[in-house]
Structure 1
Amino acid sequence: MPRQAVPLTESQVRALEPRAARYSVADGNGLVIEVMTTGTKVWRFRYSLNGKRQPLATIGDYRMISLRVARARAQKYAELVAQGISPVATARRDRGAEAKADVLREAAELYMATEMAGKSDEYRRTTRRALDKDVLPAIGGLPVKSVTAEHVVAICDSIKSRGSPKMALHTRNVIKRLYEYLIARQLARANPAEVVPARSIATFESRTRVLSGDEIGATLHAIDTSSIRRPLKIALHLLALTMVRKSDLVESTWEEFDLEKASWRIPASRLKQDTDQLVYLPQQAVTLLRELHRARAATRFVFPSVRGGDRPIAKSTLNQAVKALGLDVEHFVLHDFRRTASVHLREMARHAQEDKSSAQTRQHARHVEATSAAAEARQIAQRWADFVDAQLDAARKSATRAS
């Protein structure tokens, strides 16, 4: 039997270098990529009709056709061949329909159709909004290679003049990611947004970001409906529910938890302080931890590294997961969950006229071990979790109505 081709990855295709003579690398199902001596890479389809090997059918230039799209084309052509039909005419029509990505507007459409195809709905929506609202009206008609840093600054300044410095920074980042993609596909030589410092667009004083109830719900709903691994979804939800520091959560071990008593004791040695830290767990957190415990892939760490070994996930893992979602929550970082909980709980206490609860709220937000106030601290933890659940439920209903 003929040897099966090992499927390629996008990074492997990008890494293919020209040689003295052109050569081809197979992906499988008839799809091959041919690397020319000039470095140009062209997708082709290898097939036979009536028992005879036919000339390769050209799918198109790699710079304008991603691996995912090329595979879809190869599958379509293979189905034609199975019916005894040559795919050459169809392939020619497909190539004619390809956008010539030398103008930014067309390059942006290629980017959205290929690179952004696997991203979350929310990420695609916020990227599309930035492109359609500010980028393409200003420079969409320019050749890709003619866009300069001055163009990027002008776009950002226009957005800032509307009183939206954070949106200006977001838009600069969209342009930066677009050009990173174009450079990888050899459609651009330089990134005009890379030389525009983020601090020159939007500078922020000390962190004071507090999420509104709607933003809490939208954030958790985006996490819940994303394609990231289930343990990471749970970790992000637990950060919102428990108000702990990110490092305290990702490095936690199962021996620290007593799920029967709904408590979590973080040892002083891990905190680099004199006393342990007691965290009272609301019912929602216990439910999530029990799910993790049933499916646990390691005996020690609650969030073990997928790379194996006796270690937890990296501290940057949750940040990277959130960044990949492209959340439509301006200037949000994971630490904002703690500040958000503290502010909302104080507001709840003020409305309920619970005179002594504000001190206990601050105590709990810092996770200092409670003494005589244990029962009330548990109530506060549960009250916060119920509030978070209500925001998430509202976001789910809103998304259902919108669809």
Structure 2
Amino acid sequence: MPRLAVPLTEAQVRALEPRDTRYCVADGNGLVIEIMTTGTKIWRFRYTLNGKRQPLATIGDYRMISLRVARAKAQKYAEMVAQGISPVATARRDRGAESKADILREAAELYLATEMAGKSEEYRRTTRRALDKDVLPAIGHMQIKAVTADDIVAICDRIKSRGSPKMALHTRNVVKRLYEYLIARQLASSNPAEVVPARSIATFDSRTRVLSGDEIGAMFRSIDASNIRRPLKLALHLLVLTMVRKSDLVESTWAEFNLDKAMWTIPAARLKKDRDQRVPLSQQAVSMLRELDHAKASRKFVFPSVRGDDRPIAKSTLNQAVKALGLDVEHFVLHDFRRTATAHLRKLMQPSDALDQNTATTPGHIAQGASAENAAKQRWVMQRWADFVDAQIEGTRRGSTSTP
């Protein structure tokens, strides 16, 4: 039985180096990539028709066609072969449809069609909007290698003149990611946006960063639509719903939760404090924890490491997951969830609902010895916050959604 090819990754394809003679590396399902002595990489399709091995059908240049698109084409050609049809003519037409991406507008379309295909709808929408509204009208006609840092600064300055410094920074980042993609495909040799400092466009005080309602919704819609592991999606949701520190969540154990009473008690020893911390759980948080409990991967940890259930995930895991998603939220760190919750809750509360000063500073945590009335109010706060977050994700508005 022939040995099955191990599927390639984009990183592996980029790392393939030329040799004295050209060679092929298989991805599977007939797809191979041929590395020429010049370093050029060509996708080809290997197949047998009517019992005879046929010459390789050319799919196209790797610089123009991503691994994902090449696989899709190989699958299409394999289906044709299964019907007894040669894919050669179709492959030739497909190659003719691939325009040479030496003009930025063409390169941007290639980027959107290949690199953006696996991203969330929200992420694709905001990326295309930045390109269509400000980037391509200004420099879309230019050669890729002719674009300079001054061109990027001019675009950002025009956006800032409209009173939108955050959008200017977002647009700079879109161009930066576009050129990173083009460099990886050897269509560009330098990144004009990379040399434009972010602080020269917009600055934010990290101690006052608060996500708007729209940003909360966009973020979690992107997370939900992503392909990261389900437990990590739930962890990010729970981080915003419970308003705890990241380390408190990722190191949590099942013994700390009483889901029937909707209560999480973080022991003082783990907090390195002199008293336990009690966190009431919203209905949404309980539902997520029950899902994790049902698919329990560890008897001890709620979020066990994939390397073994005797330890939790690393503290950096959630940061890495968010970074990998390329979320369209500028100057955001996970700790901003706590500040965001506090800011929105202050606006959501009516004067008659106001909590005492100490409680309002750390919403959602029941102080030791708190009265039954204050404990009930904290539960109500947590549920109000969870409902608000749900409303942002759904794109609707329940009550006041004004942002600080």
Check conservation: 1:360, 1:373, Cα contact below 8 A.
no
Instruction: Summarize the Cα distance change of 1:332–1:385 in structure 2 as closer, same or farther, 3 Å threshold.
Output: farther
Instruction: Summarize the Cα distance change of 1:259–1:47 in structure 2 as closer, same or farther, 3 Å threshold.
Output: closer
Instruction: Summarize the Cα distance change of 1:5–1:237 in structure 2 as closer, same or farther, 3 Å threshold.
Output: closer
Deviations for 1:291-323, whole angstroms, at most 9, x for unmatched residues?
A: 211211112221112233532222232233334
The question of 1:353 aligning with 2:356 is answered no
The question of 1:11 aligning with 2:11 is answered yes
**What are the residue-to-residue correspondences of 1:362-381 with 2, within 5 Å?**
362=360, 364-365=362-363, 367=365, 369-381=367-379
Q: Which moved more, 1:216-225 or 1:232-241?
A: 216-225
Partner of 2:400: none
Report deviation, 1:398: 5.1
Partner of 2:266: 266
Check conservation: 1:280, 1:378, Cα contact below 8 A.
no
| C-alpha distance in 1 between matches for 2:379 and 2:336 | 17
Instruction: Summarize the Cα distance change of 1:162–1:343 in structure 2 as closer, same or farther, 3 Å threshold.
Output: same
Q: Which moved more, 1:26-35 or 1:37-46?
A: 26-35
Partner of 1:195: 195
Residue type at the aligned position of 2:201: I
The question of 1:58 aligning with 2:58 is answered yes
Report deviation, 1:18: 0.8
Residue type at the aligned position of 2:360: R
Tell me, which stretches of 5 or more residues in structure 2 are unaligned? 398-404
The question of 1:182 aligning with 2:150 is answered no
Report deviation, 1:374: 4.5
Residue type at the aligned position of 1:379: K
Report deviation, 1:53: 2.4
Instruction: Summarize the Cα distance change of 1:94–1:224 in structure 2 as closer, same or farther, 3 Å threshold.
Output: closer
Instruction: Summarize the Cα distance change of 1:344–1:394 in structure 2 as closer, same or farther, 3 Å threshold.
Output: closer
**What are the residue-to-residue correspondences of 1:108-127 with 2, within 5 Å?**
108-127=108-127
Deviations for 1:78-127, whole angstroms, at most 9, x for unmatched residues?
A: 23333333222211111110021111111111111111111111111111
Instruction: Summarize the Cα distance change of 1:380–1:82 in structure 2 as closer, same or farther, 3 Å threshold.
Output: same
Q: Which moved more, 1:217-226 or 1:301-310?
A: 217-226
| C-alpha distance in 2 between matches for 1:7 and 1:222 | 26
Instruction: Summarize the Cα distance change of 1:375–1:320 in structure 2 as closer, same or farther, 3 Å threshold.
Output: farther
| C-alpha distance in 1 between matches for 2:213 and 2:50 | 65
Report deviation, 1:207: 2.7
Instruction: Summarize the Cα distance change of 1:377–1:330 in structure 2 as closer, same or farther, 3 Å threshold.
Output: farther
Deviations for 1:110-159, whole angstroms, at most 9, x for unmatched residues?
A: 11111111111111111111111111111111111122222222222221
Q: What SS is found at the alignment partner of 2:43? A: strand
Q: What SS is found at the alignment partner of 2:269? A: helix
Partner of 1:392: 390
The question of 1:308 aligning with 2:282 is answered no
Residue type at the aligned position of 1:79: E
Residue type at the aligned position of 1:72: A
Residue type at the aligned position of 1:123: Y
| C-alpha distance in 2 between matches for 1:142 and 1:210 | 38
Check conservation: 1:22, 1:36, Cα contact below 8 A.
yes
Q: TM-score, normalised by structure 1?
A: 0.90
| C-alpha distance in 2 between matches for 1:358 and 1:233 | 33
Residue type at the aligned position of 2:291: E
Instruction: Summarize the Cα distance change of 1:64–1:201 in structure 2 as closer, same or farther, 3 Å threshold.
Output: same
Q: What SS is found at the alignment partner of 1:117? A: helix
Deviations for 1:50-92, whole angstroms, at most 9, x for unmatched residues?
A: 3332222211111111112112222222233333332222111
Q: Which moved more, 1:220-229 or 1:283-292?
A: 220-229
Report deviation, 1:182: 1.1
The runs of 4+ residues in structure 1 deviating greater than 6 Å are none
Q: TM-score, normalised by structure 2?
A: 0.89
Check conservation: 1:46, 1:56, Cα contact below 8 A.
yes
Check conservation: 2:364, 2:378, Cα contact below 8 A.
no
Report deviation, 1:21: 0.7
Q: Which moved more, 1:339-348 or 1:62-71?
A: 339-348
